[in-house]
Amino acid sequence: MNQDKFTNVYRLPGSIQVRIAKWQATFRGTSDIVLHDALIVRNKQFQKPDFLPRGWCLTPFSEDDISITHHGKYIQTTMLTMIDKKVSYKRVYLSRVPLEQAEPALRQYKIEWMRKYNDIVNKYNKIKKKELMVHAWEEVETLYPSIPKAEFDKNLWNKLVISQFGPERKYSNPYFVKKADF
């Protein structure tokens, strides 16, 4: 048997173990038949809807993730641009808008962005998970590691954003938020 490494599959002396986060399964023996069974069980875990393989899928944001920081003359929140997913900051200067209005407005701005962002994340994750499963089932057939190292696919992300929301020039901000009460 080849000693190549499979994703989430570990060879122990006398057994093969599948470990995914806190879930694990151990199979007695080290033969190709045992490896085949372990890969099938691993793939069933991969197919679960709540499983987002690290590196392959993105984690959606929730409203609990919103943080607005105060910096004296302005408040800000961290956001990602829709095109290329770059880190950026949305600031509201308190000289233009009082804090009582600025904070709820910034929160609403981020919630609108978050909904749009999460729509794209869900589409991206479906596509990337299908791609992962093609490689995972190939491993079951060949008993040879074929899942490549995962990286963020910027081209796929940008295609999904443009197909969902249209071209970037259609928006006045890189977050594709239309309702800005500032």
Residues 16-52 pLDDT 10s: 999 998 999 999 999 999 999 999 999 999 999 889 8
Token pair, residue 130, equals 């299908």
Token pair, residue 15, equals 């057994």
What's the rounded mean pLDDT across residues 83-102?
Answer: 94
What's the rounded mean pLDDT across residues 114-132?
Answer: 96
Which among 119, 91, 95 has a CA at the least distance from the CA of 105? 91
Which among 26, 25, 20, 11 has a CA at the least distance from the CA of 47? 20
CB count within 10 Å of CB 76 equals 16
Residue 50, pLDDT score: 87
CB 79 within 8 A of CB 90: yes
> The whole model's pTM is what?
0.88
